[in-house]
A = this chain, B = another copy of it.
Amino acid sequence: MKEIKINLKNPYSVIVTSTNSHLNFWFEQKKVGQLFIITDQNVDSIYADYFRSFEQKIIGKYIIKPGEDSKRIEIILDIYRALLKNNVDRRCTLIAFGGGVVGDIAGFVASTYKRGTNLVYIPTTIISQTDSSVGGKNGFNLDGIKNIIGTFYQPNLVYIDVNLIKTLDYRNFKNGMAEVIKYGLSLDENLFRFIEENKRAIKEREIDKLKYIVSECVKLKAGIVERDELDLGERHILNFGHTIGHSVETMFDFNILHGEAVAIGMVYESYIALKRKLISEDIFDRLIKILEYFELPTNINIDNYKRFKDIICKDKKNVDNNIKIVLPQGIGRAIITTDVKADTIVQNIQEYNRRLL
């Protein structure tokens, strides 16, 4: 078991382990009373027994449909009503048991129901274990705009059981690996090398390797979140691959997984970096190779570049109409810049796609 402290105003721990047995211990230690579980149908069908050893604490469970479409105000209102019906008070602990969608919904509910209840995240996907469960962001979609409403709300505990990854289907597994590769390329050369050297064991989901990469990602994220909790500056570095990636998600109406879009985004953003001589051809090739090893997409066919440019220009992260983009600078380092114009982004994507023909 590893314990990583997140030193914010109300400090909390991220526990990385491969069993559910420390959870009960933590509940006892913190004198946690009633629990209310928010999960999704997939997770519930596999892990209905996960909480058996403290079943008597559970006063209710809300099961959402899996997928981004659940991140709607109607679902959130329905959860509020379920909590009221179960007489959930502020001292009750909500458990977010699932991937990013469950975490986003449960986090928002916990931060707003009776002005804030206790919250424990138990992320079940590699993407939520390494990324969304740490940092306190939550949210829901409105009129098709992703995460446009939400808060920053830190949980009392993030409990990462890497064993849960074992049952992930392969597409969702590699989806998470895209974010892990992102951490390596943009923030930590050692992590990138570790992935390259242990790719086969990681693909086979060896527990020790999973524990290592997950805890390294959490440590990297923790440091950044501690320095920029409210996403006003440095935290933006985590968006490597995301400026183009988010636009790809929107362009394809979310018929692509987040990690897949980020993989594509990383390639194009690295290509921009390559053209600016921020990275070498060799580094660019290593990125392509590791993405291909995990069978992640490394390009996408865009049929309407004008529309794509419009989407990029409307990104939530833009300030004063300047596009924010993160470019790698070698391996393990990246810069945040606003001096890449939308036209340049589109031209580079076109150029790279032509190169592949």
Contact = CB atoms under 8 A, between A and B. Distances in A.
A77 B72 CA distance: 12
Contact of A142 (B80, B150, B319): B80
Interface stretch (A13-21, A109-117, A122-130, A178-186): A109-117
B115 A150 contact: yes
Nearest to A145: B84
Nearest to A314: B87
A151 B148 contact: no
A257 interface: no
Given A115-B139, A116-B230, A319-B89, A149 B9 contact: no
Contacts of A9: 9
Given A77-B73, A319-B91, A113 B149 contact: yes
Contacts of A113: 148-149
A286 B77 CA distance: 46
A152 interface: yes
Nearest to A152: B115
A71 interface: no
B116 A84 contact: no
A81 interface: yes
A187 B151 CA distance: 34
Given A80-B142, A143-B84, A319-B89, A231 B148 contact: no
Nearest to A108: B112
Contact of A116 (B115, B116, B151): B151
Contacts of A77: 73, 142
Interface string A57-91: 00000000000000001000100110010000101
Interface in A135-168: 137, 139, 142-143, 145, 147-152
A315 to B, nearest CB: 11
Nearest to A77: B73
Nearest to A115: B150
Interface string A223-234: 000000011000
Most B CB within 10 A of own CB, among A73, A149, A231: A149
A316 interface: yes
A136 to B, nearest CB: 9
A214 to B, nearest CB: 25
Given A113-B148, A113-B149, A116-B151, 13 more contacts: A77-B142, A80-B148, A80-B149, A81-B142, A84-B142, A84-B143, A89-B318, A111-B151, A114-B316, A115-B139, A115-B151, A115-B152, A115-B231
The 7 A-B residue pairs whose C-beta atoms are closest, nearest first, are A115-B150, A112-B149, A9-B9, A112-B151, A115-B152, A80-B142, A115-B151
